[in-house]
Amino acid sequence: MKFSLTTLGVSSASPTTDRYPSAHILNICGRLLLIDCGEGCQMLMKRHGFSLMKTGGVFLSHVHGDHVFGIFGLMSTLSMSGRTDPLHIYAPEAFRAILDFFRGQFLERETYPIVFHPLVSDVPETVLEDACMSVVAFPLVHRVPAYGYIFREREPGLNVRKDAVSSLSLTREEILSLKDGRDAVRSDGTILEADVLTYRPYAPRSFAYCSDTAVFDALPDIVRGVDLLYHEATFGDDCAGKAAEMYHSTARQAGQTALKAGAGQLVIGHFSSRYKDPSVLLEQAREVFPNTELGREGRQFEIPLKRQL
């Protein structure tokens, strides 16, 4: 039941010799989801042991180059490798023209369906829901239309308490009823209450991705209570004015958002190339939100299962 984020590219617009542009892998129960696809993304995926062919979906925040330049290479390699499974891409409507250009100029043989899901809503919207998870896209505040994402595990089914099965000699029909959340009534009138005799085996886990964006008042409420929050920290306190001008965030502002949202852990990334050592950004974020970590190439952040009693 793995739920983890691996940060691959954590640089902003200009890559450095040791930092690639935005690209991340989210593993939810074995499903590999790619979040942003900056230049060199497929090389990073291979380097860190992720199968390109197992990419279960692509979620692009916006169409600035440092978040999408890697998509041409990835889609070309998937075609040359003979992929047949559909590739679902979630991105702002502006990505449609990029996709059409790619298909017309570079995709000689489309071996797999490319399914584009345009994001156009100005309010949070569920864009994917299946037996494993749900994904909500929500608008950010940037120079072009941009979206963040919240990934949540689906709530697990009810389990019947083992001690109750034996002590009450529950029948198969009673167990099925309780697991369905329905009270069971015995022939003598005894009511077996589902609320008392069942439990959720674990609490659903959640991850929110916020890049690129300026801070805005509604954001903490949108991502409230997530177990893990990835938030851009392009600049430090020394460039707070530039952050506001460019519709980006500082590390301290990322920490403030995590604090207000009641997040479990904060990971910061999307560092400006002016910061050769981003540890200064980590220090500033931790002054506000101590449970902050630096994203870096290949670093994995796992959300442990929260067992229920």
Q: Identify the pLDDT of residue 199.
A: 87
Active site residue 66: yes
β-pair type (125-129, 159-160): unpaired
Say if CB 147 and CB 92 are below 8 A apart.
yes
On the 0-12 / 13-18 / 19+ scale of CB atoms within 10 A, 169 is exposed
Share of the chain above pLDDT 90, in %: 83
Phi and psi torsions of 85, nearest 5°: -70, 145
How many CA atoms lie less than 13 Å away from 129 in the CB half-sphere? 5
pLDDT tops 70 at residue 308: no
Q: What does DSSP assign to residue 172? A: H
Q: SS3 for 160?
A: strand
212: left (phi over 0), alpha (psi -120 to 50) or beta: beta
**162-184 pLDDT, tens digit each:** 888 888 889 999 999 999 999 99
Say if CB 248 and CB 212 are below 8 A apart.
yes
Distance between CA atoms of 219 and 257, rounded to whole angstroms? 7
Helical pair 71-80 and 95-105, crossing angle rounded to 10 deg: 40
Distance between CA atoms of 269 and 168, rounded to whole angstroms? 54
Q: Identify the pLDDT of residue 164.
A: 84
pLDDT tops 80 at residue 159: yes
Q: Which of 18, 36, 66, 122 is catalytic?
A: 66
pLDDT tops 80 at residue 307: no
Q: What is the mean pLDDT of residues 230-235?
A: 98
Domains of the chain: 3-156+202-297 (3.60.15.10), 159-198 (no CATH)
Instruction: Name the average pLDDT for the chain.
Output: 95
Q: Identify the pLDDT of residue 50.
A: 97
Q: Identify the pLDDT of residue 309.
A: 54
Q: Identify the pLDDT of residue 26.
A: 98
Q: What is the mean pLDDT of residues 62-83?
A: 96
Q: Identify the pLDDT of residue 63.
A: 98
Distance between CA atoms of 71 and 107, rounded to whole angstroms? 12
Residue type, 89: I
Phi and psi torsions of 134, nearest 5°: -130, 150
pLDDT tops 90 at residue 242: yes
β-pair type (292-294, 265-269): parallel
Q: Identify the pLDDT of residue 108.
A: 76
